Amino acid sequence: MPRLSILLRISYSSIAAFILSYCTIAANEILTASGFVFHDANLDGKHNSSEKGIPQIAVSNGIDVVLTDNTGRYQLPVSDDTILFVIKPRDWKPLTDALNLPKVYYIHKPKGSPILKFAGSLPTGALPESVDFALYPVKESDYFKVLVFADPQPYNEQEVEYFEKDILNEIVPIQSDGANNQNPSISGENKTFITDEFLFGLTLGDIVGENPALFHPLNYAISQLGLMWFNIPGNHDVNYDAKTDRYSDETWESIYGPPSYAFQFGQVHFIALDNTIYPPVSNSGYPYDGGLNENQLLFVENYLRHVPSDELVVILFHIPLFDEPYRVESFIKEDRRRLFELLKNHPHTFSLSGHTHTQNHYFFTKEDGWMQEKPHHHYNVGTASGSWWKGELDENSLPDSTMRDGTPNGYTIFIFDGNKYSYDYKVANAPASYQMRIHVPNTVRRAPTDISNEIISVNFFNGSSKARVDWHLSGTSGKWAPMKQIQTIDPDYNFTRLTREMSHNPKPGRTLPFPTFSTHLWAAPLPSDLAPGSYTIEVRVTDLFGRIFKDQSDYEIIE
């Protein structure tokens, strides 16, 4: 008989939804899975008789979320297409496989995946008598860092190599003896050192570019960083020959497990959601939709019941919550509304996405359907592949890859401290201090008044409407003055792109894509009424968190 204490935690609506979600499959059978979450004292992944179960640990079937009883035991309903998983709690850690992927799930597909171009799961056979999950204790600080990639998206092995050389080679694991394996081709100031403060890494979808055969080489390359690594599926990771959304993640699931799941570090609860709906359900004419299905929303609802309101909830997607400029609706509005409703009693929230190959910050207010006074911050992270590995090749045979909004390709380092967060965008193969690009003409003709047709523009790569940009001329009596945030194309990016297009003998590489409006540009008129000579423009940026970044550029006034 099922334990009443466990079953009472499953809402009637969740059970009904679970059954209904599979009722169209005649051969489907709802079974009850049970097992233990246990303290794996010898780290062998097997539940020995001497190893005790862990109480109050959340386990899910992708819809329901139950807590283990005093002996560490749980029970959950399963169908013939279910992935059971344990939700990593604070101060406990799962084992990882040879590629540092967390071993937190069990796939139950008795007949395996349907036949697709890229293979999915093999038949798993009958449900085991006990599906157990191993954890071992660790002490987690409230302060920790996370390394995040968006859209590595290689379409072939050469682009996997680009990702390794351009991104991974500058990220250096610090060994327990304090040593590191520095790549002499990249200077030390360009490097990111993985210290004990980094608890895990994450890829925000589009791990590959419509070629699931590249999952394995990419996973191997990332595993060399030595971090436990979580992944989220993107629209370019799906099985495009699948007839229904249910089977669109079969290859993904066979490698990474559940496409939607959760885990906790410190006071932060991460909820990863596959928000690519393929084939699409709307009439947008696009090959996929951004949105969530009923089971995912129930999973979020059921998990949030176990999340204290004073802790931080971070939602992880691939497709952003806001609409992309060139699409009428890129995220189904009703799905977003229902998600916001589920989060309305959690005052500390944050969400991340990739997908756009630009970098953006959006602050959802009540006008957008957000149900709290404090806006919800959504960060659309700049991508590792930049503009899909396009652009002229440099001296190291690496493409320029600058994104269409003028953001250089790179990755993000997130810092969590209790229920607070901050972040730093790291440009690939550049010093950590490189946070902006100042665009100014080399020379300006002297004018009788301070009215000039020339402007200074600043692209603060991680800027938002909450940032402030000031400037002044060094060595003059001029005071610091605010610059105006504008939305236009990045002039430096446009110049680079047009120069290649107009060249009769361009360097090797592919032309950068057409520019798009940047959400992090500031501009001001450039003084031209000063005496002829050289001048230095100093720029000071204050970001969302009150941190200050500085840079400078020179120009010359001529008669």
Pair of tokens at residue 465: 């409407």
- The CATH architecture assigned to 4-136 reads Sandwich (2.60)
Residues of the chain under the 70 pLDDT cut: 1-28, 175-187, 449-452
Separation between Cα atoms, residue 237 and residue 276, nearest integer Å = 10
How much is the pLDDT for 71?
98
Domain ranges of the chain: 4-136, 140-427, 436-558
The neighbour count for residue 197, using CB atoms within 10 Å, is 13
Whether the Cβ atoms of residue 171 and residue 194 lie closer than 8 Å to each other: yes
At a CB cut-off of 8 Å and minimum separation 6, what does 179 contact? none
How much is the pLDDT for 327?
74
Give how far Cα 494 sits from Cα of 206, 304, 406, 441, 514, Å: 26, 45, 8, 14, 8
Give how far Cα 510 sits from Cα of 61, 236, 400, 462, 492, Å: 45, 21, 9, 26, 18
How much is the pLDDT for 452?
59
E strands, 131-205, are 133-137, 143-149, 171-173, 192-194, 198-203
CATH class, domain 436-558, is mainly beta
DSSP reduced 3-state for 539: strand
Q: Hey, do 4-136 and 436-558 end up sharing a CATH topology, with the first three levels equal?
A: yes
The residue type of 414 is: F
Tally of helices (H runs) and strands (E runs) in the chain = 8, 34
How much is the pLDDT for 2?
40
The residue type of 78 is: V
One-character DSSP codes across 79-112: -SSEEEEE-BPTTEEE-B-TTS-B--EEEE-TT-
Superfamily of domain 140-427: Metallo-dependent phosphatases (3.60.21.10)
Long-range contacts of 14-19 (CB under 8 A, 24+ apart): 14/63, 14/64, 14/298, 14/302, 15/64, 15/77, 17/63, 17/294, 17/295, 17/298, 18/61, 18/63, 18/64, 18/77, 18/79, 18/295, 19/77
Separation between Cα atoms, residue 484 and residue 493, nearest integer Å = 20
How much is the pLDDT for 429?
94
